[in-house]
Amino acid sequence: MRLGTKNFTEEFVVGQLYAQALRAKGFRVELKNDIGSSEIVDRALTAGAIDMYPEYTGVIVREIAHEKRRPRSAAETYARAKAFQSGRGFAVLDRTPGQDVLANAVRTGFARRHGLRSTADLKRIGSFTYGGPAENRTRFQGVVGMRQVYKLNNLRYVPLRIENRYRALASGKVDMIGAFSTEPQLRDTRKITVLSDPEGIFGYQNIVPVIRRSVLAREGPLFTATVNAVSAKLTNEVLRELNAAVDLKGRAPADVARQFLQQNGLP
């Protein structure tokens, strides 16, 4: 079974969690790490290059399925993600209790200077720069949605590699970045302020394993139970701690995952 991941820290750790837990139960897992954005990984999945990967429910509904109507709850988002993937021959396993919601982060001094509390407040500050990975430029849950819903025609997009976002924000290269709510850097509120999303364009983003139905049937119920047991442990706080171990302490995702599984009796 070929397990892929997207291109940022949380995906590296979650991919290792699923792979190591499954291997401990005797399943053969080939881990294909750091494939790219959701759009790229989804193409790999549908082309048969991988069999499974961790995705976010809101990303499935909005950016992969391109559904226009925004879900009103995490449960609705999950149900719609499952229905969409089922129609393509894929299963969506249990969602994590935690969710990693897309967010707009600015320097705290910048927020204070302009009186910013929500994304809507950005409309009145004049031109500003927004940095994020390439897919943010064309996503509704990115530049497109902010311009359509919040009318932020004063936004100027600056392409940034995911790993460079916080350095670019701190140095003043950009005024705002596309952040993930479980990133440990956001804890330092003296330096970074997260703007609220009153219109809900960033949606609900629980992690779900997406897997080819034929592979799931072949592997059997122990496979599903093993993956779901890992997902059940991934609360918001756990995701933040796992990300912090890699991003702030410099530990390898494989080591972080191994320790977590051992501490939780999951191998």
Task: Quote the pLDDT of residue 38.
Answer: 96
Q: Is residue 169 very low, low, confident or very high in pLDDT (cuts 50, 70, 90)?
A: very high
> Which amino acid, 58?
G
Q: Is residue 174 helix, strand or coil?
A: coil
Whether pLDDT at 151 is above 80: yes
The share of the chain scoring above pLDDT 90, in percent, equals 100
Q: How many CB atoms lie within 10 A of CB 255?
A: 12
Q: pLDDT, tens digit, for every residue of 173-188?
A: 999 999 999 999 999 9
DSSP letters of 42-89?
Answer: HHHHHHTS-SEEEEEHHHIIIIIS--SSPPSSHHHHHHHHHHHHHTTT
Task: Quote the pLDDT of residue 167.
Answer: 97
Whether pLDDT at 34 is above 90: yes
Q: Is residue 149 very low, low, confident or very high in pLDDT (cuts 50, 70, 90)?
A: very high
> Which amino acid, 248?
L
Average pLDDT over residues 60-68: 96
Average pLDDT over residues 247-257: 97
Whether pLDDT at 217 is above 80: yes
Whether pLDDT at 164 is above 90: yes
Cα gap 53→38, rounded to integer Å: 10
Cα gap 181→184, rounded to integer Å: 8
Strands 155-159 and 128-132, how do they pair?
parallel
Whether pLDDT at 267 is above 80: no
Q: pLDDT, tens digit, for every residue of 74-125?
A: 999 999 999 999 999 999 999 999 999 999 999 999 999 999 999 999 999 9
Q: Is residue 34 helix, strand or coil?
A: strand
Enter the tokens of residue 10. 């949380």
Q: Is residue 36 very low, low, confident or very high in pLDDT (cuts 50, 70, 90)?
A: very high
Cα gap 144→245, rounded to integer Å: 33
Average pLDDT over residues 28-47: 97
Phi, psi of 232 (to 5 degrees): -60, -25
Strands, E, within the chain: which ranges?
A: 2-6, 30-36, 52-56, 90-92, 102-107, 128-132, 155-159, 176-180, 192-195, 207-212
Q: Is residue 221 very low, low, confident or very high in pLDDT (cuts 50, 70, 90)?
A: very high
CATH for 2-99+204-263 is 3.40.190.10
Q: What is the pTM of this model?
A: 0.93
Whether the domain at 2-99+204-263 and the domain at 102-195 fall into the same CATH topology: yes
Q: Is residue 216 very low, low, confident or very high in pLDDT (cuts 50, 70, 90)?
A: very high
User: Which CATH fold would you assign to the domain 102-195?
Assistant: D-Maltodextrin-Binding Protein; domain 2 (3.40.190)
Task: Quote the pLDDT of residue 168.
Answer: 98
Q: Is residue 238 very low, low, confident or very high in pLDDT (cuts 50, 70, 90)?
A: very high
Rounded (5°) CA angle 112-116-121: 155
26 CB-contact burial (10 Å; exposed 0-12 / middle 13-18 / buried 19+): exposed
Domain extents for the chain? Answer: 2-99+204-263, 102-195
Cα gap 114→94, rounded to integer Å: 42
Average pLDDT over residues 7-12: 97
Task: Quote the pLDDT of residue 153.
Answer: 96
